Amino acid sequence: MYCMGQILLSLKTETEQKLRRLAKELKGGKKGALSETVEEALDLLAKEAKRRMAWKRAWELSDRHQDLGIGTFKREDAYTGKRFERLMKQVNDSNSE
């Protein structure tokens, strides 16, 4: 069994109608349809926010040209399979310094 909190919201009439219509389409007329619809929407919003934050962080790192730990390789390495060998050489060279 789980506890449920209650929140009182004030929504524009159009937003309320949209929520009720969406809940009815997705969940039917069953009890708790509004709550389930809002919970699912919040889950999607949280996932999207997390994805955006990850992209923003990656963009910031790339803007500062920071090493992301994947090493460098030449274009031909992608075709010859020598990327791993070059990467290991870079790691060994940096460890020996």
Residue-wise pLDDT tens digits, 14-35: 999 999 999 999 999 899 999 9
DSSP 3-state of 64: coil
Q: Is residue 43 domain-shared with residue 75, that is, in the same domain?
A: no
Q: Is residue 57 domain-shared with residue 29, that is, in the same domain?
A: yes
Domain count, the chain: 2
Q: Is residue 24 domain-shared with residue 49, that is, in the same domain?
A: yes
Look at residue 5 and tell me if it is in a domain: no
d(CA 19, CA 93): 60
Output 79 or 48, whichever has higher pLDDT: 48
Residue environment code for 50-79, b if the CB has 16+ CB neighbours within 10 A, otherwise e: eeeeeeeeeeeeeeeeeeeeeeeeeeeeee
Q: How far is CA 73 from the centre of its chain?
A: 28
- The reply to whether the predicted model has a pTM over 0.75 is no
Whether residue 71 contacts residue 87, with contact meaning beta carbons closer than 8 Å, is answered with yes
